[in-house]
Structure formats: structure tokens, C-alpha cells
Amino acid sequence: MGFIKSSFSFVLGNVCGIYIAQNYAVPNIRKLADTAVFMLKTVEEKYRKPPKKRDDDY
């Protein structure tokens, strides 16, 4: 009885998630995360300070 009681919320969550994914336009989280990382990298490269020049670089 304990196994059924403890796994009920897990099974119910899976069923609800499958229903929502099939019937609604759920965005692809991995694609959104990849886009956000790419945008952050471009902003970092754009606003990065130039490296300091040493006396040896002349």
C-alpha cells in the first residue's frame, strides 16, 4: 500500500504533463535556453574590456 500511495503523485504528474504537452503549444525549453546562452555570450563579447597592454608588447 505504501508504494502505491507514494507513487500516486508521480504518476498523476506524468499524466498531466503528457496531456498538457499534447494539447497545448508548450515551448521547447532546450531551444530557449540555447538562445539565451548565445545572446549572453554575444553581449559579453561586445562589452568585454580589452586586455591591458604590457611593456613587452611593443
Least confident of 7-11, 17-21, 26-30, 54-58: 54-58
Q: 34: pLDDT confidence band, cut at 50, 70 and 90?
A: very high
Quick one: DSSP state of residue 25? Answer: -
Compute the 3-state secondary structure of the chain and give helix, strand, coil in percent, each to the nearest 5.
75, 0, 25
Q: What is the pTM of this model?
A: 0.49
